[in-house]
Amino acid sequence: MAAKLTDAQATRQAQRLASVRPELRQAYASALLRWLQNPALARLGRPIVTEGYRSAAEQDALYAQGRTKPGRIVTYKQGGASKHNRQPAEALDVAFMLSNGQVSWSAELLRRFAQLMKQANPAIRWGGDWPQFRDRPHFEL
Ligand SMILES: [Zn+2]
Protein backbone atom coordinates (compact mmCIF):
# COMPACT_ATOMS: atom_id res chain seq x y z
CA MET A 1 0.00 0.00 0.00
CA ALA A 2 1.18 3.49 -0.79
CA ALA A 3 1.56 5.97 2.04
CA LYS A 4 -1.66 7.85 2.78
CA LEU A 5 -1.71 11.62 2.59
CA THR A 6 -2.90 13.72 5.50
CA ASP A 7 -5.81 16.08 4.80
CA ALA A 8 -3.38 19.02 4.70
CA GLN A 9 -1.14 17.18 2.23
CA ALA A 10 -4.11 16.23 0.06
CA THR A 11 -5.24 19.87 0.01
CA ARG A 12 -1.76 21.03 -1.05
CA GLN A 13 -1.73 18.40 -3.81
CA ALA A 14 -5.08 19.68 -5.10
CA GLN A 15 -3.86 23.30 -4.99
CA ARG A 16 -0.69 22.49 -6.92
CA LEU A 17 -2.63 20.50 -9.51
CA ALA A 18 -5.13 23.34 -9.88
CA SER A 19 -2.23 25.64 -10.88
CA VAL A 20 -1.32 23.63 -14.01
CA ARG A 21 -2.88 23.29 -17.46
CA PRO A 22 -5.80 20.82 -17.66
CA GLU A 23 -3.97 18.48 -20.10
CA LEU A 24 -1.12 18.13 -17.64
CA ARG A 25 -3.48 17.70 -14.69
CA GLN A 26 -5.42 14.98 -16.54
CA ALA A 27 -2.28 13.12 -17.56
CA TYR A 28 -1.02 13.24 -13.98
CA ALA A 29 -4.36 11.98 -12.65
CA SER A 30 -4.30 9.08 -15.12
CA ALA A 31 -0.67 8.17 -14.35
CA LEU A 32 -1.29 8.44 -10.61
CA LEU A 33 -4.31 6.15 -10.80
CA ARG A 34 -2.44 3.54 -12.81
CA TRP A 35 0.48 3.72 -10.38
CA LEU A 36 -1.71 3.28 -7.31
CA GLN A 37 -3.68 0.45 -8.92
CA ASN A 38 -0.48 -1.49 -9.56
CA PRO A 39 0.46 -3.12 -6.23
CA ALA A 40 4.11 -3.55 -7.24
CA LEU A 41 4.42 0.18 -7.97
CA ALA A 42 2.21 1.36 -5.10
CA ARG A 43 4.45 -0.54 -2.67
CA LEU A 44 7.44 1.55 -3.82
CA GLY A 45 5.89 4.90 -2.93
CA ARG A 46 3.14 7.38 -3.70
CA PRO A 47 3.68 9.97 -6.45
CA ILE A 48 3.24 13.55 -5.25
CA VAL A 49 3.33 16.91 -7.04
CA THR A 50 6.00 19.09 -5.43
CA GLU A 51 5.44 22.12 -7.69
CA GLY A 52 3.12 23.41 -10.36
CA TYR A 53 2.97 27.17 -10.80
CA ARG A 54 6.03 29.11 -9.61
CA SER A 55 6.21 32.92 -9.65
CA ALA A 56 8.97 34.73 -11.55
CA ALA A 57 10.43 35.89 -8.21
CA GLU A 58 10.52 32.29 -6.95
CA GLN A 59 12.16 31.28 -10.23
CA ASP A 60 14.84 33.98 -9.81
CA ALA A 61 15.52 32.72 -6.27
CA LEU A 62 15.98 29.18 -7.64
CA TYR A 63 18.24 30.51 -10.40
CA ALA A 64 20.44 32.20 -7.79
CA GLN A 65 21.01 28.85 -6.07
CA GLY A 66 24.43 27.53 -7.10
CA ARG A 67 25.37 30.90 -8.62
CA THR A 68 25.11 33.82 -6.20
CA LYS A 69 23.66 31.71 -3.38
CA PRO A 70 24.88 28.42 -1.86
CA GLY A 71 23.65 25.07 -3.09
CA ARG A 72 23.76 23.16 -6.34
CA ILE A 73 22.38 24.46 -9.61
CA VAL A 74 18.79 23.29 -10.00
CA THR A 75 17.63 25.36 -12.97
CA TYR A 76 18.96 27.11 -16.06
CA LYS A 77 15.87 29.31 -16.43
CA GLN A 78 15.56 32.81 -15.03
CA GLY A 79 12.27 34.30 -13.82
CA GLY A 80 9.61 34.21 -16.51
CA ALA A 81 11.48 31.74 -18.73
CA SER A 82 10.29 28.50 -17.11
CA LYS A 83 7.10 26.71 -18.05
CA HIS A 84 6.41 26.71 -14.30
CA ASN A 85 6.05 30.51 -14.55
CA ARG A 86 3.11 30.46 -16.98
CA GLN A 87 -0.41 30.82 -15.64
CA PRO A 88 -1.69 28.20 -15.65
CA ALA A 89 1.65 26.43 -15.40
CA GLU A 90 2.77 24.20 -18.27
CA ALA A 91 5.05 22.15 -16.03
CA LEU A 92 4.87 20.15 -12.85
CA ASP A 93 7.45 18.45 -10.67
CA VAL A 94 6.97 15.02 -9.16
CA ALA A 95 8.51 13.16 -6.22
CA PHE A 96 7.45 10.14 -4.17
CA MET A 97 6.30 9.76 -0.61
CA LEU A 98 7.71 6.57 0.85
CA SER A 99 5.92 4.41 3.40
CA ASN A 100 8.12 5.90 6.17
CA GLY A 101 6.90 9.39 5.25
CA GLN A 102 10.16 10.48 3.61
CA VAL A 103 10.20 12.12 0.18
CA SER A 104 12.23 10.46 -2.57
CA TRP A 105 13.48 11.69 -5.94
CA SER A 106 14.61 8.19 -6.98
CA ALA A 107 15.67 8.20 -10.64
CA GLU A 108 14.21 4.71 -11.08
CA LEU A 109 10.81 5.64 -9.64
CA LEU A 110 10.71 8.81 -11.74
CA ARG A 111 11.62 6.82 -14.87
CA ARG A 112 8.74 4.43 -14.24
CA PHE A 113 6.32 7.25 -13.56
CA ALA A 114 7.47 9.05 -16.72
CA GLN A 115 6.40 6.01 -18.77
CA LEU A 116 2.87 6.33 -17.40
CA MET A 117 2.80 10.09 -18.00
CA LYS A 118 3.89 9.68 -21.61
CA GLN A 119 1.33 6.93 -22.16
CA ALA A 120 -1.37 9.18 -20.73
CA ASN A 121 -0.41 12.04 -23.07
CA PRO A 122 2.33 11.64 -25.70
CA ALA A 123 2.65 15.44 -25.93
CA ILE A 124 4.19 15.51 -22.45
CA ARG A 125 7.95 15.89 -22.30
CA TRP A 126 9.95 14.46 -19.43
CA GLY A 127 12.98 16.36 -18.10
CA GLY A 128 14.76 13.02 -17.66
CA ASP A 129 14.94 12.69 -21.46
CA TRP A 130 16.86 15.94 -21.91
CA PRO A 131 20.42 15.39 -23.13
CA GLN A 132 22.25 18.06 -21.12
CA PHE A 133 20.59 19.03 -17.87
CA ARG A 134 18.50 16.06 -16.81
CA ASP A 135 15.61 17.24 -14.70
CA ARG A 136 13.95 13.95 -13.77
CA PRO A 137 11.22 15.33 -11.46
CA HIS A 138 10.06 17.66 -14.24
CA PHE A 139 7.19 17.14 -16.74
CA GLU A 140 6.00 19.76 -19.20
CA LEU A 141 3.79 20.33 -22.22
ZN1 LIG B 1 10.11 21.54 -13.09
pTM, entire model: 0.94
What letter represents residue 43's amino acid? R
Reply yes or no on whether the pLDDT at 11 is more than 70: yes
Domains of the chain listed by start with CATH number = 7-53+88-140 (3.30.1380.10)
Distance 84 CA to ligand 1 centre (A): 6
Distance CA 120, CA 64 (A): 34
Q: What does the radius of gyration of the chain's CA atoms come to, in whole angstroms? A: 15
Residue 57 has pLDDT above 80, yes or no: yes
CA 139 to ligand 1 center in whole angstroms = 6
Question: How does pLDDT run across 66-76, given as a tens digit for each residue?
Answer: 999 999 998 99
Residue 138 has pLDDT above 70, yes or no: yes
pLDDT band at 132 (very low <50, low <70, confident <90, very high): confident
Tell me, in angstroms, the distance from the centre of ligand 1 to residue 90's CA: 9
At 4, is the pLDDT very low, low, confident or very high (cuts 50, 70, 90)?
A: confident
pLDDT confidence tier of residue 27, bands split at 50, 70 and 90: very high
Which among 34, 33, 24 is positioned nearest to 92, based on CA atoms? Answer: 24
Distance 12 CA to ligand 1 centre (A): 17
| pLDDT for 25 | 98
